[in-house]
Amino acid sequence: MKDFGEFDYVIVGGGAAGCVLANRLSADPDVSVLLLEAGNDEKWIWTKIPVGYLYCINNPRTDWCYKTEPEAGLNGRSIIYARGKGLGGSTLINAMLYLRGQARDYNEWAELTGDAGWNWDSVLPHFTGVEDNWRGKDEHHGSGGEWRVEQQRLCWEILDRFAEAAVQAGVPATPDFNRGNNIGVSQFEVNQKRGTRWSAVRGFLDPVRQRPNLTIVTGALSDRVLMGESEKRALGIVFRLGGEECVARARIETVLAAGSIGSPAILQRSGIGDPAFLQSLGIPVAHALAGVGSNLQDHLQLRTIFKVEGIKTLNQQANSLIGKMKMALDYALFKRGPLTMAPSQLGLFAHSSPDVATPDLEYHVQPLSLDKFGDPLHTFPAFTASVCDLRPQSRGSILIRDRAPDSAPKIAPNYLSHEADREKAARALKLTRRIAEQAALAPYKPVEYLPGPKFDTDEALAFAAGNIGTTIFHPIGTCKMGRPDDATAVTDSRLRVRGVAGLRVVDASVMPTITSGNTSSPTVMIAARGAELIRADRRNAA
């Protein structure tokens, strides 16, 4: 085994969390930091042009190309489970939507962990501290940070009419989804800068690459935590680089930032997890933690499609040579138009029933339609209104198949396995139909194409949800933080792995419950606060 050297901090994973951690920890010139990333230092043009997600997702160059196990809740289907590969992680390929969730999400974290440092008032400064918002600085937003937030640079009349229909159906308009309660309908704001994707590597890593105390290594596939022989302490990480097994040692801490799939898999290969499961694979138990890999939560979106008449959608433009030429020209000259498109442009947050205190449904509305991701757009004009349950009750798991670090784990989200989720799916599809029936859309004669009007009972709609449901790629919770008496908690409220010294997890896997919206920016916030906790603990130990 090659000795790669010793560093104060070894960060495993160069995605959103890893880029933030590398930035913040290396700001101290007295410590040395190693950042390991299994993918490349990606310079591909499609990781810069916003619409490039069409070419990056399910492409082994930029995506791990995972798939779920066949899901009973999806009527036996297995679906793609994209995770970004390369420095920047999923911010290279994601939807670029800037959303924090709701104040109630973080207040719930504070209750579940017993730590007020995770409540809304406490985390808000971490959101605003990294933010560079187009509005400038105010009580809700920050300016001058690394995480650029802008308005979208295109508009579609069909989306404006859908927004009007939503208001007619009882959902108010809102100017801002990120003030603690995201009720309403509005255009999404995006992590872009002048029409280009603003990834975590551009925002947090590129400006500090030349720091002499920061070492960045790509193509480094992390295998397992190096554990002490006489004590439960992490000493570093074992990884593969260029076909050779290497070890990097950490003087202070090893920090896993490999995401909700990667971090639990590394722990399991290290012998940290459920003893019965580890023993079934012949892995010696280094430390028993039953919750590793459990508590997987995700947002399942239900893709409804409506054909329309007499109004432009991307279907017509993208299927026309002249339309394609115009799109290319708009982008080349002005960095505007469809090539700047996030996967969804219009957002809507609503209540599934009057009994829900804050919005529990999120819509991603698009001026286009296709049968499934990767397929060509339909030739007929249409829009897609995808709706997801923001707070699903179903829980899944991430479990390694064997001890090999290059083996894809078993991903089992268990979508719609909880009856409450099935009931809410039916209510969500009914709300979508109610919006489509409003006067604002009537001139365009919307006709439901998917799932189809034949699904007309709650039971039938719940079944249809299994046909049309797909992930929005928001896996969280597989190394959740919790109180000391929570037997399923993997980390404490300071993100330290329980019972193992010198080891933390700082990424989306520590969320105990999923946020009420997209999870990229909450992950950035977790990393910013995690870095602060790491530095504070070092000062206190000195």
Of 517, 530, 529, 532, nearest in space to 179 by CA = 517
Both tokens assigned to 149: 């937030």
Q: Are 195 and 340 in contact (CB under 8 A)?
A: yes
In this predicted model, what pLDDT tens digit does every residue of 177-229 receive, in sequence order?
999 999 999 999 999 999 999 999 999 999 999 999 999 999 999 999 999 98
Q: What is the pTM of this model?
A: 0.98
Q: Count how many residues are written for the chain.
A: 542
Stretch (H or E) spanning 278: helix 275-280
- The full 3-state SS of 485-530, as one line of letters, equals CCCCCCECCCCEECCCECEEECCHHHCCCCCCCCCHHHHHHHHHHH
So what's the pLDDT on residue 328? 87
pLDDT in tens, the chain (542 residues): 899 999 999 999 999 999 999 999 999 999 999 999 999 999 999 999 999 999 999 999 999 999 999 999 999 999 999 999 999 999 999 999 999 999 999 999 999 999 999 999 999 999 999 999 999 999 999 999 999 999 999 999 999 999 999 999 999 999 999 999 999 999 999 999 999 999 999 999 999 999 999 999 999 999 999 999 878 999 999 999 999 999 999 999 999 999 999 999 999 999 999 999 999 999 999 999 999 999 999 999 999 999 999 999 999 998 888 888 988 899 998 899 999 999 999 999 999 999 999 999 999 999 999 988 778 899 999 999 999 999 999 999 999 999 999 999 999 999 999 999 999 999 999 999 999 999 999 999 999 999 999 999 999 999 999 999 999 999 999 999 999 999 999 999 999 999 999 999 999 999 999 999 999 999 999 999 999 999 999 999 87
Domains and CATH numbers, the chain: 1-73+84-148+195-297+397-409+475-542 (3.50.50.60), 153-187+300-389+414-474 (3.30.410.40)
Residue 113: CB atoms within 10 A of its CB come to: 24
Tens digit of each residue's pLDDT (9 = 90 or more) over 331-367 = 998 899 999 999 999 999 999 999 999 999 999 999 9
- For the chain, the C-alpha Rg in angstroms (whole number) is 23
Retrieve residue 74's tokens: 């999806």
pLDDT at 541: 84
Rounded Cα gap, residues 273 and 422, in angstroms: 31
Identify the DSSP state of 202: I
- The answer to whether 474 is a known catalytic residue is yes
Catalytic position from the list 141, 287, 299, 474: 474
